Structure 1
Amino acid sequence: MSTEIEHRSGNTLDRSVEQQLLHLRDVLGQVAPRDPRTRRLGPRCWRLELLAEACAPETFRHVVSWLSSTLVSSVASKQAYADDIRNWAAFLQQEEGIAQFALEDVTPFTVRSYRQHAEERKSSPRTIKRRMDSLSSLFTFTGWATGQPILNPVTKFDKPKIDPNDYTTATPVLEVPEFQAVVTAAATPREALVPVLIYTLAGRVSECCSAGLHSLQNEGGQRKLDLRRKGGKGRVFTLPPRLCELLDAATAGRTSGALLLDDQDRAMDRHAIDRMLNRLGQAAGVLPGREVTPHVLRASKLTHMHDEGVPLEDIQQYADHAHIQTTLRYIRQRDDEALKAKHAAAAVKVYDHLVDRFV
């Protein structure tokens, strides 16, 4: 690892820096890069090594410092930001002929050119905005870390306008019978545990993947799960007895290792869980044309809590949302759909007797 990073980044590493890089490498994990021309996935590689190859040496050091900081708090955010920077590097290389991504090469003109390029490729406004936010965060952090005045090329005038009330691209929600059909489609206890655990905890996929049997505790006759949530926050969940029975059937006497294993005894990562849930969703016949993802299960659980009359503050606390606006995205989507249906139905009384002529 150290030799590869030294070669790609142009740095000679001392022991402490090497240990930092090894830790960040493990945090960022691996990804299968997609060929920009053929769109085919290549072999899985360490994200950190791909960044070292894509970035100029000085910029790579800034990226490492930024991704290692608490400004980017969660593992999922670090991975997403790393992928966003690789996307910027690929744009500079393909469209502007710049071999390696360097902060000094990114200008306001580059940002506007990127937006036009992304819009032509039909990227969603939310995706474009997220990538601009990632780049802006890197510039902001680097200016703070170096104490140097660095012009941030991303301004609010460059970002796409996002309609907060546009739910057409929002995460879909499973109704209760649809979720039950997904669980019914599971063939083994290990398969069933995946959707049941994520739904019960309204968990994020990274949180459930990192949970191990060592995270389970017995206190006063109750089973509890110590879950590391987004930003490294520790949360203890008391597990319902019925879930514990399924957990025991799925773990089959194991006392160590990952909580979620596939039927070949391999610890499941986010990609394995995505594949499994999508397969179960297809077998259950739910969400035609859409995939059942861990976030679908999380959104479904929070929405069902709202349907049951759980106070908004309780839903926010259970979801571990830092801001109430995040929780409202789920609730408003549900309320907005119900409100539109109510008003549409109310319109019928105006023309109900006139329709008889035509039907």
Structure 2
Amino acid sequence: MIEYTDVAASPPPPLAAGPHPERGDVLEPSALLPPGRVAAATPVGPLAPHARGSAAPPPAPLVASVGDIAGLRLRRARRDGGEVPGADVDLVDALDRRTWSVVAAWLADSPLASTRQTRLQVLAAFLRWLQSLTPEVPLLAVTEDHLIAYRDAAGNGLLTVGVRIPGKPLAARTIAKLRNNLSSFYTYARRRKVIDANPATDVRAPRVSSEGSTEALIPAAHQQVREGIAKLAGQGHLAEAAVIALLDDIGARAGAVSRLTVGDIRTVTATDGSRHTVVRFINKGGKTVELPIASELGRTLMQRLGAGRAATELLFTRDDGGPIDRWWISAALTAAAIAGGMPAQEAAALHPHMLRATTITELLDAGARPEEVQAAAQHASIETTFRYKGRNKSLIGHVLYRRQESSESS
């Protein structure tokens, strides 16, 4: 069963239906073929008016299942090293050949494993709803009316499949995430010339508050996390301490650090001769970014973690050697907070995006220029950055206290 959460980062904006900003409106082969299928063309079901009836046959296969795509290793049992539910992989692998090829190529198109996982989660949830309501409608034949019905069902608590709690209305931010990811899929299908138009283009997402939904840590809680990082490392949990220290230093999304390699932590010399320890990662937009690790503790933990290891090795790994995910990072954050003295119940409510919100909020509150914070946070729009301004609202010195103080003194 798919689980959604309302505390995730702001949803990605829908992709435009026009040319790709960097690669142009080109047909890119996926080199993908579903399990047990052959390259010969096979008939498909009737398509909606916006879909094309003649698509180029898929090229020679590179993967046999979407579970073979990096970041989408299927999970059949707890702690078996899988990254996504096996049922979601099975659902997608059961699609007809042409649809599977488009879905698999879309999943692989993102450079971030976390984005691939979110895409699979959203698409699997939508497929379950579509197949339960109108099983005769193929995924590539979906119309605007289907997507509007799905959006309204999610907002009115009418979804009985594909959600953690059937019958519970989803938050506006979660519905916007569903709509935006589905729009991304159909935009990709249109760019691949499989359909003529994106049916999600005119489907409006619910209005989302202009203020970010993720709270920043209050100063006392932030200090407890920072103190807990050193204690966690002292207890032998070096990787857990290092990943929390890194996120606290650079304010990146958890997905950006999950697949860092040892070689992504580097020492560089600036033009003024100063030397800096930096981390290199790929942001949500697919661009390579370098940010300095500001704290002495963060730099020390990175050096200890990478000592004697090959540059191509994953920097952070689970006990089974697999890449970490946001749940692993959440557990590490909880452990650090507890080690720093935070009550266990409060620590269990923390999640990694709070570190990002805290970094951005503290930079703005300290007087950093919003444009500089936008660049450090890798926000596509400065409006997103402004959501965090004034988040740590202090009532000390509020004008209403002056009246009371004046009354008491007189």
Contact 1:209 1:269 in 2 (8 A): yes
The letter of the residue matching 2:86 is: C
What's 1:226 paired with?
Answer: 280
The letter of the residue matching 1:114 is: Y
In the TM superposition, what whole-angstrom CA distance separates every residue of 1:206-247 from its partner, at most 9, and x where no partner exists? 221211112233445543333333333222334344422222
Contact 1:108 1:153 in 2 (8 A): yes
Within a 5 Å distance, the mapping from 1:104-183 to structure 2 comes to 104=141, 106-118=142-154, 119-120=156-157, 121-146=168-193, 149-150=196-197, 152=199, 155-157=202-204, 159-165=205-211, 170-183=213-226
State yes or no: 1:194 paired with 2:234: no
Q: Offset at 1:198?
A: 0.8
Contact 1:274 1:294 in 2 (8 A): yes
C-alpha distance 32-328 of structure 1, shift in aligned 2 (>3 A): farther
Q: Offset at 1:272?
A: 1.5
The letter of the residue matching 1:89 is: L
What's 2:135 paired with?
Answer: 98
What's 2:92 paired with?
Answer: 51
| SS of alignment partner, residue 380 of structure 2 | coil
What's 1:216 paired with?
Answer: 265
C-alpha distance 33-82 of structure 1, shift in aligned 2 (>3 A): farther
C-alpha distance 32-293 of structure 1, shift in aligned 2 (>3 A): farther
Distance in structure 2 (CA, Å) of the matches to 1:107 and 1:29:
28
Distance in structure 1 (CA, Å) of the matches to 2:91 and 2:314:
27
User: Paired residues, what number?
Assistant: 332
Contact 1:278 1:292 in 2 (8 A): yes
The letter of the residue matching 2:206 is: P
Distance in structure 2 (CA, Å) of the matches to 1:303 and 1:124:
24
C-alpha distance 43-304 of structure 1, shift in aligned 2 (>3 A): closer
Residue identity over aligned pairs, in percent, reads: 19
Distance in structure 2 (CA, Å) of the matches to 1:342 and 1:127:
35
Contact 1:213 1:258 in 2 (8 A): yes
The letter of the residue matching 1:328 is: F
In the TM superposition, what whole-angstrom CA distance separates every residue of 1:105-159 from its partner, at most 9, and x where no partner exists? x3444334323432212211111122122223333332343275446156345x3
C-alpha distance 290-31 of structure 1, shift in aligned 2 (>3 A): farther
Contact 1:32 1:44 in 2 (8 A): yes
Q: Any gaps of 5 or more consecutive residues in structure 1?
A: 35-40
Give the RMSD, CA atoms, in angstroms: 4.0
TM-score, L = length of structure 2: 0.67
Q: Which has the higher helix share?
A: 1
Q: Offset at 1:354?
A: 10
C-alpha distance 22-235 of structure 1, shift in aligned 2 (>3 A): farther
- In the alignment, which of 349, 372, 379 is matched to residue 314 of structure 1? 372
| SS of alignment partner, residue 235 of structure 1 | strand
C-alpha distance 141-124 of structure 1, shift in aligned 2 (>3 A): same
In the TM superposition, what whole-angstrom CA distance separates every residue of 1:146-178 from its partner, at most 9, and x where no partner exists? 275446156345x3232324x5xx112113331
Q: Offset at 1:32?
A: 5.0
What's 1:38 paired with?
Answer: none
Contact 1:260 1:267 in 2 (8 A): yes
